[in-house]
Every structure is written in C-alpha cells, then in structure tokens.
C-alpha cells in the first residue's frame, strides 16, 4: 500500500480555509461528504473530534494527521490539506500545523490503518519532504512529491 495510491487529487485541499482546529476538521468532513466518500459529514466530524479529545494528532514539525475509524467505510481514505499560514492544532511541539493528512479507515481494518499512519509519519519526518509540500504549486506537484518520496524510500 502506497500513500500516493491512496491519495486522490479530488481529496487534496491546496489551501485550507479553516483557521482553527475545529474549522479544519469540519472542512475535511465536508470535502469527504461532497465527494461522496462518506454519507454523513456530521458523523465523520464527531469521530475526528472524539479522536482529538484523546490527544492531539498534531505530531509536530508543522504536521497533523487527524484520523479515525468510520463504520461502513469500504477501505482506507486519505485526504491532504495545506495551510501556509498555519493552524493552532495543539501540536506536541506547540507549533502551528501546516500539512494535514486525514486518514479514515473502516472499523474492521485496524491493521491497514496503523500501517498507513506509520508510513505517513515516517515520510513526514524528512524536512525536505515537508518543505517541498509547503512550496508545491498545485495538487499534481503534491502527489508527485509524495510518490517520489515513496520511490526513493528515504
């Protein structure tokens, strides 16, 4: 399973409109609903907020990986969003989050969910990847950066 294969261009938000954690999570929920990925945006938002109440998914270095499990989902769903201004996300390092990978899995697929989280986290530990994603000019370049990182295996 490759992150670049999970990420569809239609689920990339080049510049998030939300300026708060709540707004960003609502924006992702609306996107997945509008693209017919989920049939209840409010249920998805509740799941994301519930996960955040356990501890922030802002992992630091400008990255957040909000995630959760949703009943009835066919497989893994990955969305990406970017905020050049940054969003206060209660990140572990106290900094703003700029890069967001939203991962939603079926309730009965915990193994794939954890593997994808680990892959995303590992990829984003590389400062060159983070910088490239922040500077990317469009959705195609974002996907290309992710795919190249996976090919290089660095």
Q: Phi-psi bin for 76: left (phi > 0), alpha (psi -120 to 50), beta? A: beta
- Tokens in use for 75? 């497989």
- Tell me which DSSP letter residue 95 carries: P
- Tokens in use for 100? 């967001």
How far is residue 17's CA from residue 148's CA, in Å, rounded to a whole number?
27
Looking only at the bridges linking them, the beta strands covering 96-106 and 67-70 are parallel
Q: Would you call 67 a catalytic residue per the annotation? A: yes
- Select which of 12, 16, 58, 67 is catalytic: 67
Please give the full DSSP string across 25-85, using - where no structure is assigned.
Answer: HHHHHHHHHHTTS-S-HHHHHHHHHHHHHHS--EEETTEE--EEEETT--S-EEEEEEEEE
Find the largest Cα–Cα distance for the chain: 38
Give me the active site residues, please: 67
């Amino acid at each position: 399973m490759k992150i670049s294969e999970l990420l569809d261009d239609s689920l990339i938000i080049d510049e998030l409109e939300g300026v708060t954690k709540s707004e960003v999570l609502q924006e992702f929920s609306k996107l997945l609903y509008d693209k017919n990925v989920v049939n209840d945006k409010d249920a998805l938002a509740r799941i994301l907020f519930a996960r955040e109440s356990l501890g922030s998914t802002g992992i630091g270095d400008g990255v957040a990986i909000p995630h959760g499990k949703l009943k009835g989902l066919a497989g893994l769903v990955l969305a990406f969003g970017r905020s050049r201004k940054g969003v206060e996300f209660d990140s572990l390092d106290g900094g703003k989050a700029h890069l967001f990978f939203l991962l939603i899995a079926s309730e009965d697929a915990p193994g794939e969910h954890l593997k994808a989280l680990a892959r995303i986290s590992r990829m984003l530990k590389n400062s060159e990847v983070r910088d490239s994603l922040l500077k990317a000019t469009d959705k195609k370049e974002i996907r290309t950066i992710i795919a190249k990182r996976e090919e290089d295996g660095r």
